[in-house]
């Protein structure tokens, strides 16, 4: 009975914390994006050298990842003539650094872990964006075009109106991910309450050198959305899984999700999609070992 009580308490506490922070931070991000015209973003991403990759990664970090929004954005960047490097940085960072993931990491794993995670993934997106451009990724873009005009959302002028629209958007995003969040928190609560700690330590503890690459691979089929993977990973960490393996699980799951990779295959050739998967896997494994060394 005590175990059941602890499991239920864990579920409702984590759900409440994530709900409040998700709505708050998502509203702020949506409000900020209203003050950044898309034309300016495209101009910044067109910058030469590392600057374009840096901006592409930063824009990806601000954009809540959803294939229905990321794919049109990537197509828009291609249509605007932006070089492939910044676009690759954007695509890599968008599923791994979006505000939803960062909010959940702060709540469930603390500021120190979140900052290290952000630095590792941000650097990886910039570096791999440069590498993919230098190795000829531009030749692996399919000949696709946006059909019809992409409507521009009308942005209100008054601040309070902007704030209201931002909250409505945040609420819509929250409703879209709520079921995934509840599934993840629910599974995490069951793991927290019932999974034997000795079993986790044996297969995914800090003494198993293969725990990190295995966790990165497990993240792919385990993944429904990042909102699902993170609570599961945190519950496993509380049972003894190394922090590096948890980070590898999150990066692998969030970055290599099969539905999103399938949609990327509609605009990129198979070789480039495979390269993106390889980049995310390397980032997951490298990030996991870095976390274990630091923490």
Q: What is the DSSP string of the chain?
A: -HHHHHHHHHHHHHHHHHHHHHHHHHHHHHHHHHTS-HHHHHHHHT-STHHHHHHHHHHHHHS---HHHHHHHHHHHHHTT--HHHHHHHHHHHHHHSHHHHHHHHHHH-HHHHHHHHHHHHHHHHHHHHHHHHTTGGGGB------S--PPPPPPSSHHHHHHHHHHHHHHHHHHHHHHHHHHHHHHHHHHHHS-HHHHHHHHSTT-TTHHHHHHHHHHHH-S-HHHHHHHHHHHHHTT--HHHHHHHHHHHHHS-HHHHHHHTTTB-HHHHHHHHHHHHHHHHHHHHHHHHH-
- pLDDT at residue 170 in the model: 79
Supply the range of the domain harboring residue 164: 2-294
Q: What is the pLDDT of residue 201?
A: 62
Residues 6+ apart with CB under 8 A from 113: 105, 243, 247, 291, 295
- Quote the pLDDT of residue 250: 82
The pLDDT tens digits for 130-166 are 998 888 888 888 765 544 444 455 667 788 888 888 8
What pLDDT, on the 0 to 100 scale, is given for residue 195?
Answer: 64
Count CB neighbours of 8 within 10 A: 12
Task: Give the pLDDT confidence score for residue 126 in this predicted structure.
Answer: 92
The number of distinct structural domains making up the chain is 1
**pLDDT value, residue 204:** 62
**Parts of the chain with a pLDDT under 50:** 146-151
What pLDDT score was predicted for residue 268? Answer: 85
Q: Which residues of 62-90 are buried (b: 16+ CB within 10 A; e: fewer)?
A: bbbbbbeebbebbbbbbeeebbbbbbbbb
Ramachandran category for residue 136: left, alpha or beta (phi over 0 → left; psi -120 to 50 → alpha): left
């Amino acid at each position: 009975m005590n175990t059941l009580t602890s499991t239920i308490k864990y579920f409702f506490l984590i759900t409440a914390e994530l709900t409040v922070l998700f709505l708050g931070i998502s509203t702020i991000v949506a409000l900020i994006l209203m003050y950044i015209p898309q034309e300016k973003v495209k101009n910044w991403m067109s910058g030469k050298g590392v600057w374009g990759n840096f901006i592409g990664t930063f824009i990806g970090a601000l954009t809540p990842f959803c294939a229905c929004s990321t794919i049109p954005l990537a197509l828009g960047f291609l249509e605007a003539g932006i070089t492939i490097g910044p676009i690759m940085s954007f695509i890599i960072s968008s599923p791994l650094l979006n505000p939803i993931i960062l909010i959940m990491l702060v709540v469930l794993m603390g500021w120190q872990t979140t900052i290290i995670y952000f630095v590792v993934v941000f650097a990886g997106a910039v570096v791999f964006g440069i590498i993919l451009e230098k190795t000829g990724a531009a030749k692996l873009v399919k000949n696709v075009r946006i059909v019809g005009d992409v409507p521009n959302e009308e942005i209100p002028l008054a601040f309070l109106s902007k704030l209201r629209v931002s909250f409505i958007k945040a609420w819509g995003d929250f409703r879209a991910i709520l079921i995934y969040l509840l599934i993840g928190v629910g599974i995490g609560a069951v793991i927290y309450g019932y999974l034997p700690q000795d079993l986790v330590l044996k297969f995914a503890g800090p003494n198993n050198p293969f725990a990190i690459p295995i966790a990165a691979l497990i993240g792919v089929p385990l993944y429904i959305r990042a909102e699902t993977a993170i609570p599961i990973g945190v519950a496993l960490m509380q049972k003894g899984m190394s922090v590096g393996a948890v980070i590898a699980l999150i990066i692998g799951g969030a970055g290599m999700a099969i539905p999103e990779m399938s949609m990327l295959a509609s605009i990129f050739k198979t070789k480039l999609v495979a390269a993106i998967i390889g980049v995310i896997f390397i980032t997951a494994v490298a990030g996991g070992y870095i976390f274990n060394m630091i923490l």
